[in-house]
Amino acid sequence: MSDAPKTSGMTRLRNYFLTGFVVCAPLAITAYIAWSFIGWVDSWVKPYIPARYSPDSYLPFPVPGFGLIVALILITLIGFLAANIVGRAIVNFGERLLGRMPLVRGIYGSLKQIFETVLSNKGDMFRQVGLVEYPRKGVWSLVFVASEKETEINEKLDQEGDPLIAVFMPCTPNPTTGFLMYVPKSDIVLLDMTIEDGAKLIVSAGLVAPEVKSKMVVVNGEPIEGVLANPSVGALAQPARKSRTASSRPNK
């Protein structure tokens, strides 16, 4: 009899601890990453700031984030200067110099193309999440589907009306690494989840899965809620509706 209250009390304490851990752990990790990033930027920028302009010279303690603010202002000014004619001429001259360096040329060109794709050309980013049978039939892997474009790969591997689409299959739990594959469009099962939900699913190793959103299906002019919008739902629901309508008619 005395063991039951003790067991119940320990269970409540364990649940309280787990609840507090779930609340505090994301906050602590987020604060640590943000603080580390601010410190990393400050360590790069602050040594180049003249002492008379740095608040650390006048205060008895260092001011975190001052280097980050200076870096943001400098980046914005550089972008403003590079947007005019003189700035573009300087940037083009610097790129021509880098283009003559064998090793630096490839690194700079690849990084520039990646940043331009991610930050500038929103239409060229991953547009949808899908599933592909990999590494064997019957086993499905989550992929990010890129925009459908005509490339040399599509031309060399002509699929006779079934175009090849570039998909990126990220690795768990680091979605920045993975495999680039060209898959026939008919072999991709497109999902309704967003890119953010797909990234959460990858990072959490399947623990944080997006909820299935129920949609309204209209069958013969009547809305049916709580049913997934699948073309087969209407076909399945129509005979049932007909039987209900027939049973509700008065017998003559």
DSSP string, 55-66: GGGTSSS--TTH
- Three-point CA angle 223, 229, 233, nearest 5°: 80
Domain check: are 220 and 242 in the same one?
yes
What count of other Cβ atoms lies within 10 Å of the Cβ of residue 250? 4
Flag whether 195 is in a domain: yes
In a domain, residue 192? The reply is yes
Does 68 map to a domain?
Answer: no
Residue 110 lies in a domain: no
Is 237's pLDDT higher than 50?
no
Angle, CA of 217, 218 and 222, to the nearest 5°: 130
199 and 220 inside one domain: no
Q: What is the pLDDT of residues 28-73, one digit of tens each?
A: 999 999 999 999 999 999 998 888 888 888 888 888 899 999 999 9
User: 81 lies in a domain?
Assistant: no
| Domain total in the chain | 2
Residue that wins the pLDDT comparison between 158 and 112: 112
* pTM greater than 0.85 (yes/no): no
Residue predicted with more confidence, 239 or 38: 38
The 3-state DSSP class for residue 113 equals helix
Could you tell me which of 28, 69, 27 has the C-alpha nearest to residue 46?
69
Is 82 inside any structural domain? Answer: no
pLDDT tens-place string over residues 98-128: 888 888 888 888 788 777 766 665 545 678 8
Q: Is 117 part of any domain?
A: no
The whole-number pLDDT of residue 202 equals 87
Are residues 135 and 194 both part of a single domain? yes
| Average pLDDT of the segment spanning 181-204 | 87
Q: 185 is in which domain, residue-wise? A: 126-203
pLDDT confidence tier of residue 238, bands split at 50, 70 and 90:
very low
Are both 177 and 220 inside the same structural domain?
no
> Does residue 208 fall inside a structural domain?
no
Highest-pLDDT range among 64-78, 82-96, 210-224, 229-243: 64-78
Share of the chain above pLDDT 90, in %: 17
Task: Say if residue 199 is in the same domain as residue 241.
Answer: no
Phi and psi (nearest 5°) for 17? -65, -45
Is the domain of 222 the same as that of 198? no
Provide CB contacts within 8 A for 219, sequence distance 6+: 233, 234, 237, 238, 241
Residue 85: C-alpha distances to residues 39, 105, 132 (Å): 36, 24, 47
- Name the residue with higher pLDDT: 176 or 51: 51
